[in-house]
Amino acid sequence: MSQQGPRLIGGGTYRLGPVITAGPLLTSYTAYNRNTNDVVGITVLELPVTIDTQRVQALLQPLERRRQVRSAHVLEIHDWGLEGNRIYIVTDPPRGVTLKYVMDHDTIPLERTLDLAQQMARGLQTLHSQGIAGLDLRPQLVTVQIVEDSDYVQLDDIGLRPLLKGLGYTVHSQHTGDIGYLDARYAPPEYMQNGPIGPWSDVYQVGLLLFELVAARLPFVGRDQEETGLLQMSATVPRLDQYTHGTPTALQEIIDRALEKAPTQRFPSGGALLAALDALHMATNRPASSTTDMKSLAGDVTLDDKTARMLPLHRSGKMIEKEEGVYAYLFFEQGDETAQRFPIMEKNAVVGRADPKHDWTPDVDLTPADPKMTVSRKHARIYCEDTLFYLEDLKSHNGSWVDEVRLTPMQRYPLQHGDSVRIGSARLLFKVPGIPDLPSSTLPAK
């Protein structure tokens, strides 16, 4: 471990928070950037202490090219490095749910399917234009951020599989959920045949995901990895009409071409696949969902009057003075009345509504902000860990949101100063004492 302590990395810049995922080789965390006060994501790879660091530095160079990529549909890398025997890669923090979660829990109509596929293709188009290809596009590595009725799709591959391969790790022996695992169900033939890898390989993977979105099953699944690989190399693409009645012929043709066994017969790039999907979407005469840059959602989402009135609270440039025993506040404003604030005085605070019948009150009692009684008794929980904050929905009846993103129950979600929070129908602002608000003279357009 580094001399600065096991919870610090990057020369002390980043303080590691809760673990998101952990495998035999890699661990991902939410973390706190001590220089910018931002919440970030960090992936850490522990290396043998005897490894040749010069060789590792050479293998890390593709991360610099990947760091230059900026797109609403690609997970951004902000920093990376080698510290002792640990590789660390700093990204945007986790937002939304995985495409796998959406597939497992939602009914996905054709219009939404096409929109999801178009956004994945846009991500490919950006990466391919920068000479980056050969991705890992399993559904657990595609994020869907759901805001109101719109999806915002992001490809989360940051080049870990080739890095692990270059370091000499055998990915076939890993668990199917591990980052480096080669899952034959989601792999193009050339991944298993050691053939030429390029943009066409990524097109094939999106073709597999598109088939699964339409049919609710994968096209090629054998009894084991080996048999599945053989099917990927030789089997004919099944007809979608077997699984989903009324599938457009043009969509079947797009999937057939994306899943051609010979790479030269596929769409040559993400841009070419996107053009075909755009043409199909226009032909269906159904407008695609918005693909607004995810980074501007907070300013672009149309909020109701109550939320719009709250926004000046964290845009005035003011700062809340620190008070003893108070870690943070939830602010509630209604009309022209003075904003009411609910202090968070526990590092593990239950947010909810009082139960006078049983003489019980949560740590943060939102009863005054909830005249419609939409807040559950034990609705959510706010965690404070050092300088990091998280919100977790406790399987509430009416849900919890951060910046209009509904939270998956029983999963922690990073909270930052100025975030808009909705508990049931109670709309609030999360604020941390001692952190200045962002100055702004205008409100977002309604």
Mean pLDDT, contiguous 10-residue spans, the chain (446 residues): 66 91 85 90 89 86 92 95 92 90 89 96 96 95 87 93 80 58 92 93 98 96 93 96 92 98 96 95 62 36 30 49 91 73 94 90 94 92 89 90 87 89 94 73 34
Instruction: Give, in degrees to the nearest 5, the angle at Cα 332 between 329 and 338.
Output: 105
The answer to whether the Cα torsion of 401, 406, 407, 413 is positive or negative is: negative
Half-sphere CA count of 4, side-chain side, radius 13 A: 12
Of 138, 166, 12, residue with least CA distance to 83: 12
Instruction: Give, in degrees to the nearest 5, the angle at Cα 39 between 37 and 41.
Output: 140
Spatial contact of 143 and 158, defined as CB atoms under 8 Å apart: no
Q: How much is the pLDDT for 178? A: 64
Q: How much is the pLDDT for 6? A: 66
- Please tell me the pTM assigned to this model: 0.67
Q: How much is the pLDDT for 140? A: 93
What gap in Å lies between CA 246 and CA 111, rounded to an integer? 13
Q: How much is the pLDDT for 188? A: 96
Give Cα separations from 31 to 54, 118, 160, 197, 388 (angstroms): 27, 31, 19, 34, 8
Of 246, 250, 186, 243, residue with least CA distance to 215: 243
* Cβ atoms within 10 Å, residue 398: 17
Q: Which residue has 């590789």 as its token pair?
A: 87
Q: How much is the pLDDT for 175? A: 58
Of 350, 357, 414, 401, residue with least CA distance to 376: 350
What gap in Å lies between CA 433 and CA 319, rounded to an integer? 7
What gap in Å lies between CA 127 and CA 65, rounded to an integer? 10
Q: What are phi and psi of 432, to 5 degrees?
A: -115, 125
What gap in Å lies between CA 207 and CA 1, rounded to an integer? 42
The helices-and-strands tally (H runs, E runs) of the chain is: 12, 20
Domains identified in the chain and CATH numbers? 8-91 (3.30.200.20), 97-293 (1.10.510.10), 302-431 (2.60.200.20)
Q: How much is the pLDDT for 25? A: 79
Spatial contact of 278 and 291, defined as CB atoms under 8 Å apart: no
Residue type, 228: T
Q: What are phi and psi of 344, to 5 degrees?
A: -105, 110
Q: How much is the pLDDT for 275? A: 96
Q: How much is the pLDDT for 257? A: 98
